A and B are shown apart, each in its own frame.
Chain A
Amino acid sequence: MMGPDVSWYIVLSGFLFTTGALGVLLRRSPLIVLLSLEIMLNSANLALIGFARHLGEHDGQIFALAVMAIAASEVVVGLGLIVAMNRSNVELDVDKLTTLRG
């Protein structure tokens, strides 16, 4: 099966990562920041799986599975933090979260 070779996937992964980074940097809502983080992690997964296919080794796919598990844990903790913030009536804006400032 001939198709786009791995460099196309890498370029797409780079653009996806940049989009996610833009979302993390630009958006104020912590929910959207978490969603953008998911995009960044998934673009890294795409690069890992692309290289795994390119080299014919499974190691990249194993790494991508581990990244998926880490992403799931990160979402659990992040959403827990957001719910806790919401419960203590903190405004959901990453610029206004200054409670931990010394």
Chain B
Amino acid sequence: MGNVLVWAVWLVAAFGCLGSAIAVISFSNPFFAAIALIGNLASLAVLFLLLSAEFLAAAQVLVYAGAVMVMFLFVIAYIGTETDAPFAGGPSWQTIAAVVAAGAILVEIVVAIGLKAGGRLSDGTEVDGLFGGPYEIGRIFLTDHLLAFEITSIVLLVAAVGGVILGSETRRGQTPESRR
């Protein structure tokens, strides 16, 4: 019974994920695309929970739905929702080439993983209830992966400084009169 329930949740989350991803790339209005991305991230968080990554599911909702999507919606509201025709604008060979390239990526992923890991993916490891919780993640992050932790913080700092510089009103060599 629990097996069927897990499959049902997986199917709903997977189709929600794929459907909202397709919605993101096919809506002409960026505002609706951003809203669809929230659905995509929420169903991904459900999939993370099924993979017993509780801390990452929480972080996903907090970081993406809480911070990134609010920022996206702010910028969309700031610059206005210019709609464009979703799959038009470029020459048609570009569209065809894009579809061919994306299909090639899909085939490549399937072939690479099927060749390297095929047949060995069915027997998963049993994990205990602590797996993926904040205790384990925090312990490993601050012991084995301390360097990655510090580099991540530096990257975030650099990005914050860059965002401030990009968004600041005055530039060097610009007089106050030339400001809009």
Contacts and interface: CB of A to CB of B under 8 A. Distances in A.
Contacts of A38: 37, 41, 64, 68
Using C-beta atoms within 8 Å of the partner chain, give the interface range for chain B: 35 or more
Interface residues of A, number: 73
A2 B99 CA distance: 36
Given A21-B101, A53-B127, A72 B84 contact: no
Given A22-B25, A65-B56, A77-B166, A35 B152 contact: no
Contacts of A25: 97-98, 101-102
Contacts of B82: 29, 92
B24 A39 contact: yes
Contacts of B89: 28, 93, 95
Interface string A15-40: 11111111101111101101110110
Interface of A: 1-12, 14-23, 25-29, 31-32, 34-36, 38-39, 42, 45-46, 49-50, 52-56, 58-59, 61-66, 68-77, 79-84, 86-87, 92-93, 95
